[in-house]
Amino acid sequence: MYGNEDSSPSAPSAPSRYDLLVVGSANADLVVGVERRPGPGETVLGTDLVVHPGGKGANQAVAAARLGARTALLARVGDDAHGRLLRASQQEAGVDTGGVLVGGAPTGVALITVDPSGDNSIVVSPGANARLTPDDVRAAGPLFASARVVSVQLEIPLDTVAETARALGPGARLVLNPSPPAPLPGEVLAACDPLVVNEHEARSILGDGAGDTPEAWARGLTALGPRSVVITLGAEGALVSDSRTGEAVRVPSPRVAALDTTGAGDAFTAALAWRLGLGEELTEAAAFAVRVGAAAVTKEGAQASFPTAEEVSAL
């Protein structure tokens, strides 16, 4: 289907059932190091340009596949060099790319400048990500019918996210990371099992009166309608809250020397979704996911840092 602007997802290839279907964004990350970021009207010289495959959807698919999950990706890229890079990175990781649509706009890119302290400035051009439509989701029925868990984020249009929630197969589970944060329809919130947020996302969704503790955020988020909530807490691990039991449980993280946190949240969410698809309870799945996130921060980069199951076991 490469190069066909009207291409639709093909029927799933063997194996006929996926542990995880990721619906989301695929970006090329264009990174330049600078001594300092330019002011208005100013030009500064930077290092050589480095291009990395990225985007929250593509990151999650690679992270899950590297752990051993049978993974498929539904996304849209451009008919260009960046699109070829993204498709190749997925295929190298073992992701089924039958649902990666090509055309309609240039591949999404993130333009990133990084100063010596590690602070960065990012401008994102969504490109083809903004052209992933509800019709694309409906056309991907065979993928949804073959997925135990579907993971989605908010770097694609919100109406496409809503259609993803409606497209779940019988018994399938929806994992949603609302990044970047945006108001969510009630039908989407009600389908989340779990809603996965970090502190910034929790505070953004809850607004004033969010409270000062993860337990307070969990109560506030659960009241919005999701079946369960997971709040990532960085080096402190995660907090798991299930609306069916009313319990909130802290899940500690192993202590590691953090080198780069880029993509760690995507690795966590992918691992969590995969283990839920294997039938683990939410707390058990979160305990594995925090180990994956911890392993990811010990290496530089996003997709390049995602661990294998053996590397997670070695922590």
- The strand pair at 247-251 and 238-242 is best described as antiparallel
Neighbours of 125 (CB within 10 A): 17
Q: Which residue has the tokens 């970090």?
A: 198
Query: What letter does residue 153 receive in the DSSP assignment?
Result: E
Amino acid in the structure at residue 93: A
Task: Transcribe 190-236 into DSSP letters.
Answer: HHEEEEEE-HHHHHHHH-TT--SSHHHHHHHHHTTS-SEEEEE-GGG
Residue 7 to residue 76: CA distance in whole angstroms:
10
> Is residue 40 packed enough to be buried (19+ CB in 10 Å), middle (13-18) or exposed (0-12)?
exposed
Q: Give me the active site residues, please.
A: 266
Neighbours of 236 (CB within 10 A): 13
